[in-house]
Structure 1
Amino acid sequence: MTVRRLTAVDARTLWLSRSIPDDQFLLYAFDGSVGDLDEALAVISARARACGEFGLRIADTGFWTYPRWEPRPVGADQFVVRAEATWDGCLAAVAASVESQLDACVMTWRLHVFPSVVDVPGATDAASVVVLQICHALADGVRASALAAYLLGREDLVAAVPRMRSPAVALPVRAVRAAREHRRLLRDTAAGHVPAQAVSRPTLHSNIRPEGVCHLRAVVVERGLFDGRTVTVGALSAISGALAAHLRELGDDPAHLGAEVPMAKVGPRQANNHFGNVGIGLHPDEEPATRMRLIADEFAQRRRRATHPAMGAEDAASAAVPAPLLRWGVGHFDPDLRWPTVTGNTVVSSVNRGAADLRFGDAPVLLTAGFPTLSPMMGVTHGVHGIGEYVAVSVYAAESAIGDIDAYVDRLEHALR
């Protein structure tokens, strides 16, 4: 039997999670009662057993090799039924669950089920809420959304990512090629053929180390509110206005406010985590129409730079790094180190989760949300997640970095509407 090992990027994600917890929490709210809860959970359990990616754990057994994927039967310990009965209580419970990160060597996912929740935005009566907690080494945001959708009724089975062979003996050749392409990138940038790398931003209050109570909130709006604009750009513009005003009250100058945004990599997926973070200026001092145009232009520049051959050559070289060398590098990461500049003053992760075709028992899906993790240099993050006709713009923030969370959410809701 062929041993299936983690790719270099997924192994690095696993090892870094021991310093900066990074489990993802994908929330889905369903309009109405689930009906027969035991039957609904049995259906989900059967679907999980039918998809090999849900039957895995990680074995990290030695310094000299990359961790490997091993089979792990879907078990009852991966389903947790919660008693919280209000929307605010549900969000608070998810925030508390962040403290209980998964041990990927035991399980790579867990499903939290809230069978009856009142005050869910847009629900006609009590709603059902399901939250998939998933190890980041198993999936990035796009892949995790596909896995969750399969669990909840979509027919698109999520297969294992084909592993490209990246033997360590290939590293010297790939490193030389990457260096050559990097020099070409520098020349092309100087000549104006390729956009320059995004500038770093001065740290602001939102970059304070997360301390105190951590809050989750979600503002749910109709997709039509974006009026033909891309949801991501429209949401970023609203976040820009709201966060800049909030930071000014905290004593900051947000003139150079920027966001760190995960963006899918070019080309076929070669790892469970197939994205890179890019810096996007948010231009808070511009009028909304101009601001959205400038944000859209910045996305276009980041995508154009990402297509340069240097990026693919760098990824290929990284994929061939021997496990001991990568372990050594990750082991020297210092989460306590502070920097005067950052890629962004908040993280904004945006994923379109498709049509409203999911169900939990008798209840159809109403909305979905996600909450990008906090880190030592990031005390406020945002998620932008749409399904069907509704988009949830979520906020995950530490008290130390946001101050009055409700005042900020009021600003954000006003900016969105």
Structure 2
Amino acid sequence: MAPADAAMYWASQVSANDQFLLFAFSGDEAATCAALVSEVRRRAAAIVDLHLTVETVPGDLDFPRWVPAPVSDDAIVGYPGPYTWDAVLKDVAALSTRSGGDLWRVHIFDRVTGVPDADSLARVAVLQISHALGDGRRVSAIARALFGGSLPEPARDARVAVGDRTLAAVRGGMLVGPHLVRAAALGFAAWAAPVPEATAAPTAATRANTAPGDRRVLRTLTVPSEAVRSGGHSVTVGVLAVLAEVLPAFLDASRREARAEVTVAFGDDSGAKALARNRFQTASVPLHADEVDRRRRAALIAAELAAVRRRVDSPGFVASRHAAASAPAVLGATAARLSADAPQPATVSGWTVVSSVNRGAADLTLAGGRVLFTAGFPALSAAHSLTHGVHGIGDAVTISVCAGAPIADDVDEYMAALSAAFAPAG
């Protein structure tokens, strides 16, 4: 594994960080739940990334490696139903609290009532997948292939230097010192490289920046893309502009301090880092909630995001990613495990996390049923008990909310405020 992917794998062993890609399909077409499972299994057989498992090295003295594996018998699970939409969200919420399980699994809920935008019964398919297998863009491509889209390009994973796990551990132990020296040298180069000045400073923690506990509540709101594109900007900008109107009052916090941590993709770096399946990082983005005009606020947020992207792709940040990738495996494993016990911070770089991915054209199908919308639920952390997913397919954009304690008790109030903010004026 690339270091970034290994970090995701190690983190999954101590806290739940699986990705949940939900797709709702019309369900009038006659097909048994067993037939749905067979159809998805047939498609999974052609996807290289779904024929992998993880082999670790003793003592984490070398990075875990990908090894071939067949699709297991229980990799695609069918639930015949009947279900309600609320029951599906409740079941997915329960799944999201479990850590360290299989690399992936598909859950198919048949005969679901109450699904937004469905005329009658619907079907809901959920790809639960380890973050080690890829970031939001890559796993979205895998999900599209499962439901009729084209196959994703095979990942360019690094070759294993030593095949035997015990010998790899011995070799890794011997190289700890040299790797530390190289990482330190690259770290100094990163410090010396130019980086655009950051525009966002830490802000005081809110009630959304507490440990979420074991409870999870999921909600979704699907709107037309034209309702989101404020002033012709991107969907991501449009959603952030609306969150700026809702979050301060909901969290009883200062509008001037409103910030979100936004996942930002970066381009291919040179060297081994380019092999990583996960090529993103989070960055603090001011929401300019004190600007009352939404279009002007959207323009300000768009400028902030553009500055963040320049910063993420700057020589200094590229060098810092190379330095992190050069650290010994055992150091990365230890850091991932210690992060699970980090104390609650007094300041944060954002009140919430927002992850946004466009999942392409609305041409996916399941047993002849057309895709209605897609959703996703970013994992909670010790510092964030409220996260947002923004996922588009065709002309439908879904804002997904994942909430833990204490936000979970008020999540329906929050969704009502979001819905009102997205409603057309007049």
Q: TM-score w.r.t. structure 1 length?
A: 0.90
1:176 aligns with 2:185: yes
The residue number in structure 1 matching 2:330 is 324
Q: For residues 283 and 418 of structure 2, what CA distance do their matches in structure 1 show? A: 23
Among candidates 276, 284, 302, match of residue 289 of structure 2: 284
Q: Deviations over 1:31-75 (max 9, x none)?
A: 223532433322321221222210111111312221111222112
Among candidates 115, 120, 145, match of residue 150 of structure 1: 145
Q: For residues 224 and 295 of structure 1, what CA distance do their matches in structure 2 show? A: 18
Q: Cα gap change, 1:90/1:280 in structure 2, threshold over 3 Å: closer, same or farther?
A: same
The residue number in structure 2 matching 1:47 is 43
Q: Cα gap change, 1:328/1:404 in structure 2, threshold over 3 Å: closer, same or farther?
A: closer
Does the 8 A contact of 2:47 with 2:151 survive in 1? Answer: no
Among candidates 91, 94, 97, match of residue 93 of structure 1: 91
Of the structure 1 ranges 267-276 and 127-136, higher mean CA displacement relative to structure 2 is found in: 267-276
Q: For residues 258 and 406 of structure 1, what CA distance do their matches in structure 2 show? A: 22
The residue number in structure 2 matching 1:260 is 261
Of the structure 1 ranges 209-218 and 21-30, higher mean CA displacement relative to structure 2 is found in: 209-218
The residue number in structure 2 matching 1:80 is 77
Q: Cα gap change, 1:75/1:327 in structure 2, threshold over 3 Å: closer, same or farther?
A: closer
Q: For residues 91 and 361 of structure 1, what CA distance do their matches in structure 2 show? A: 22
Does the 8 A contact of 1:33 with 1:126 survive in 2? Answer: yes
Deviation at 1:177, TM superposition (A): 4.1
The residue number in structure 1 matching 2:166 is none
DSSP 3-state at the match of 1:207: coil
The residue number in structure 2 matching 1:3 is none
The residue number in structure 2 matching 1:207 is 209
1:235 aligns with 2:202: no
Q: For residues 208 and 337 of structure 2, what CA distance do their matches in structure 1 show? A: 27
Deviation at 1:230, TM superposition (A): 1.1
Deviation at 1:171, TM superposition (A): 6.0
Q: Cα gap change, 1:85/1:342 in structure 2, threshold over 3 Å: closer, same or farther?
A: same
Among candidates 118, 121, 134, match of residue 123 of structure 1: 118
Q: Deviations over 1:384-415 (max 9, x none)?
A: 00001101011111241354211110000111
DSSP 3-state at the match of 1:349: strand
- Paired residues for 1:6-405 under 5 Å: 6-33=1-28, 35-37=30-32, 38-63=34-59, 64-82=61-79, 83=81, 85-103=83-101, 107-163=102-158, 169=178, 172-173=181-182, 175-185=184-194, 194-196=196-198, 198-211=200-213, 213-227=215-229, 228-248=232-252, 252-267=253-268, 269-287=274-292, 288-405=294-411
Q: For residues 66 and 113 of structure 1, what CA distance do their matches in structure 2 show? A: 33
Deviation at 1:156, TM superposition (A): 3.0
- Amino acid aligned to 1:73: P
Q: Deviations over 1:169-201 (max 9, x none)?
A: 56645642441342232xxx6xxxx23263212
Does the 8 A contact of 2:76 with 2:107 survive in 1? Answer: yes
User: Where in structure 2 are there 5+ consecutive unaligned residues?
Assistant: 162-171
Deviation at 1:312, TM superposition (A): 1.6
- Amino acid aligned to 2:198: A
User: Where in structure 1 are there 5+ consecutive unaligned residues?
Assistant: 1-5
Deviation at 1:109, TM superposition (A): 0.3
Does the 8 A contact of 1:27 with 1:131 survive in 2? Answer: yes
Q: Deviations over 1:340-376 (max 9, x none)?
A: 1112110111000000011111101110000001111
Deviation at 1:317, TM superposition (A): 2.1
Q: Cα gap change, 1:74/1:304 in structure 2, threshold over 3 Å: closer, same or farther?
A: same
Q: For residues 210 and 137 of structure 1, what CA distance do their matches in structure 2 show? A: 23
Deviation at 1:119, TM superposition (A): 1.4
Deviation at 1:334, TM superposition (A): 4.9
Deviation at 1:165, TM superposition (A): 9.2
Q: For residues 123 and 328 of structure 1, what CA distance do their matches in structure 2 show? A: 47
- Amino acid aligned to 1:45: R
Q: For residues 163 and 197 of structure 1, what CA distance do their matches in structure 2 show? A: 36
The residue number in structure 2 matching 1:416 is 422
Q: Deviations over 1:221-244 (max 9, x none)?
A: 011223533110111111121111
Q: Deviations over 1:312-344 (max 9, x none)?
A: 222222222222232333344352412111121
Does the 8 A contact of 1:384 with 1:392 survive in 2? Answer: yes
Q: For residues 204 and 119 of structure 2, what CA distance do their matches in structure 1 show? A: 45
Of the structure 1 ranges 45-54 and 109-118, higher mean CA displacement relative to structure 2 is found in: 45-54
Does the 8 A contact of 1:53 with 1:158 survive in 2? Answer: no
